[in-house]
């Protein structure tokens, strides 16, 4: 089984709709991240969480919110989707500094906002 899973894998929605993307991990990592990837722009950080009580904005948090329901779960919400939020979204986890720091990614969610 995959260590980091994302649901849904693909989603098409309309402008103005509320969308939630979910991420679960079995790696036991405290740190979780949400990124979006657009062609030619690379990965950009939306939000990150270093433990259940910690939520931090990333580079491009406007229009997004997150919830860290448990160590293993980190959800990303688009309260009112707009077309320029069409992108590939990745969830990632990492261990704490000193434990390797490597990031492990979920398979991605391809979101299209019409």
Partner 1 sequence: RKEVEQDPGPFNVPEGATVAFNCTYSNSASQSFFWYRQDCRKEPKLLMSVYSSGNEDGRFTAQLNRASQYISLLIRDSKLSDSATYLCVVTYYGQNFVFGPGTRLSVLP
Residues within the interface to partner 1 (CB under 8 A): 31, 33, 35, 40-43, 45, 48, 58, 88, 90, 92, 94, 96-97, 101-108, 110
Cβ distance to partner 1 smaller for residue 11 or 110: 110
In angstroms, how far is CA 92 from the centroid of its own chain?
7
SS3 content of the chain, % helix, strand, coil (to 5): 5, 55, 40
Cβ distance to partner 1 smaller for residue 52 or 88: 88
Shortest separation between residue 91's beta carbon and partner 1, angstroms: 9
Q: What are phi and psi of 83, to 5 degrees?
A: -55, -35
CA distances 90 to 58, 87, 98, 99, Å, are 14, 10, 24, 22
Cβ distance to partner 1 smaller for residue 63 or 104: 104
Shortest separation between residue 16's beta carbon and partner 1, angstroms: 27
Shortest separation between residue 102's beta carbon and partner 1, angstroms: 5
**Nearest one of 59, 58, 68 to 29, comparing CA atoms:** 68
């Amino acid at each position: 089984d995959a260590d980091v899973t994302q649901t849904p894998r693909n989603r098409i929605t309309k402008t103005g709709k509320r969308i939630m993307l979910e991420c679960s991990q079995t790696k036991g990592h405290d740190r979780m991240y949400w990124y979006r990837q657009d062609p030619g722009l690379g990965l950009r950080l939306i939000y990150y969480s270093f433990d259940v009580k910690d939520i931090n904005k990333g580079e491009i948090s406007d229009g997004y919110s997150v919830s860290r329901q448990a160590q293993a779960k980190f959800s990303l919400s688009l309260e009112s989707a707009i077309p320029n939020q069409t992108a590939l979204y990745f969830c990632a986890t990492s261990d704490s500094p000193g434990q390797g720091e490597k990031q492990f990614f979920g398979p991605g969610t391809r979101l299209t906002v019409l």
